[in-house]
Structure 1
């Protein structure tokens, strides 16, 4: 926690507004807009709910195709299924490990059925080639949703991730750079879309004293209590980004003598380095390294298993160059908490070196 969260929670309790309405929801939304430059924001229960609302507002429905990054967490794409639409997965490029704009354009030039939208993930806090991707989507009339769940605080040419597309989403899950324990934010420069998403997020209640419904909705609004935590967290966002980047630099220094490749950062971009991730250039037993780290109390993970490799999506169409498969096979996510010090990083790196040599 950043320091003021308990104070703001106490103020919420004093106001007696514990439900998904209240002063701190407004303050949290305003702080996200002020920080990112987004024109409108809606605080919701999680990032996946934000994506779901975006798809619903954009009219995505049964039998529509929705393009998505294959190298991502399933929360980025599960909302496509909620709308009975069909995911089509696009592979990564090596310059940022994010969605490949060349493959995207090739697909849009040749596909028989135009997709309704694209959900592009800014992976591990690093921006995709989002300006080029946005131009392609506009050229082909495809709505663009940015999954910036992992990349709050990251920028591309000075503009925040999540603010290039028709919609952007952020996550405040327990493992993110900022947390409200659980929560998300939907942003857009289109005020009417955010208003409609807010309508759907509160069970689509018509403005009558009695409950009247012309459409169905969801119980997706964030509580005032969690929003109070979010307001406190936003006060330390730049400190968090700075510390995450410092941890990354420590790893680079400690592992400079072994044959690894760290996740690259595009020219003109400034990632939040949510997680420090790397590839082993030589054949290394990733599972063994992870197990040995775990035995010493150091949690690590493989990189995301691409969606096109998931049994759930075995029948779905994918546009592949196999980059994401290589990243999955050779990559690892390292401990990256903002309370780590140089000795913590050295400890992890010593275990990695030992594991490689054994």
Structure 2
């Protein structure tokens, strides 16, 4: 059997082991240490917006902490896109709150500003003003932040910016993850850079970061004994894992460039195939890291559908996946409110995520090209 071509495999630089070894050599195998401090500084430097970063064990933990710090609790409602991974919505349930799902718009596949304002107005009219808005930059594509922030400011609702997939992406020259009251980053094994598992909470002041560190380390009060006046969590990143992150940060620009080149590869590959659209920036104001390249197939034009293409890839041992199944269609959130039309549903029915790794070889691309040529011939 041919070697597996994965959708988005980890891509290590070889430098990570130096920082991990340093943690062992200095016996800093805990949740404090030089790797954590330096990893946070490097992230702050890349985001370039005078931010403070708290690294954690996952992006899901970061969303949960952001919600906690905005006092989201039982009975509250939080607005979030329906078209996203479940980790954008699960932390809302952790707080005992209810997610209110919003449809996508067609330009960026992200939260639709029109449906967002409709939802806010309707929830307020029912006596339930949303406590927060979670915005997602899907597959690395920036959302329409100007419009979304204008609406959020109008109704005085804080924004949590889920940039888990968007490290290295910008909107109008400003880094994704720096627009909201809080930003979220992910370093999961399939992300643009990885620490094997991990995430970060992006804050705009030292007080918020200090509070995040406090809550993520079991909320231990400043006392010589173990005293706790608040509920805390075991969410802080370890110094060993942060060492992997330091090594990865040294190649972040290269990884973004490689992912964008994979996107360009697909644009060229599909340019003469009617009925296929490659997910791309709508204007030059958007700069996507193209964490995952994706496409939509119009079956009425091509006579083929995305599931047939997925199976054709699978037959050649190439991984591809359908786009996210909308959250309002998930059994676990079947009773949650939803606002919009059928944009996200159509994307799910007709879209496919394509192999996007920054370490794909020319031989890998040739295999992908061969499958595509055969499938549409």
Which of the five TM-score ranges fits, normalised by the shorter chain?
A: over 0.9
Shift of 1:256: 1.6
Q: Which runs of 4+ in 1 moved over 4 A?
A: none
CA distance in 2, matches of 1:155, 1:253: 23
Quick check: 1:262 aligned with 2:273? no
Quick check: 1:281 aligned with 2:292? no
Select 1:207's aligned residue among 219, 222, 225.
222
1:282-339 Cα shifts (integer Å, max 9, x gaps)? 2533223212212212110000000011111111100022100000000000001111
CA distance in 2, matches of 1:350, 1:93: 33
Quick check: 1:109 aligned with 2:121? yes
SS in structure 2 at match of 1:21 = coil
| Partners of 1:151 and 1:271 within 8 A in 2 | yes
Question: In the TM superposition, what are the counterparts of 1:9-24 in structure 2 within 5 Å?
Answer: 9-24=20-35
Quick check: 1:171 aligned with 2:186? yes
CA distance in 2, matches of 1:346, 1:266: 28
Quick check: 1:78 aligned with 2:93? no
Select 1:247's aligned residue among 262, 272, 281.
262
CA distance in 2, matches of 1:100, 1:206: 42
CA distance in 2, matches of 1:76, 1:308: 13
Question: In the TM superposition, what are the counterparts of 1:306-325 in structure 2 within 5 Å?
Answer: 306-325=326-345
| Partners of 1:250 and 1:342 within 8 A in 2 | no
| Partners of 1:96 and 1:127 within 8 A in 2 | yes
CA distance in 1, matches of 2:44, 2:33: 18
Paired residues, number? 357
Name the Cα RMSD after superposition.
1.2
Corresponding residue for 2:5?
A: none
Shift of 1:37: 2.1
SS in structure 2 at match of 1:205 = coil
Select 1:98's aligned residue among 89, 110, 114.
110
Shift of 1:33: 0.6
Corresponding residue for 1:233?
A: 248
More moved, 88-97 vs 208-217: 208-217
What residue ranges of structure 1 are gaps of 5+ in the alignment? none
| Partners of 2:297 and 2:305 within 8 A in 1 | no
What TM-score, normalized by structure 2, do the two folds share?
A: 0.92
1:256-302 Cα shifts (integer Å, max 9, x gaps)? 22121111313201100001100002253322321221221211000
Shift of 1:96: 0.5
| Partners of 2:79 and 2:134 within 8 A in 1 | yes
Quick check: 1:271 aligned with 2:303? no
What residue ranges of structure 2 are gaps of 5+ in the alignment? 1-11
CA distance in 1, matches of 2:166, 2:81: 15
Quick check: 1:354 aligned with 2:374? yes
CA distance in 2, matches of 1:106, 1:349: 43
Shift of 1:356: 4.1
SS in structure 2 at match of 1:168 = strand
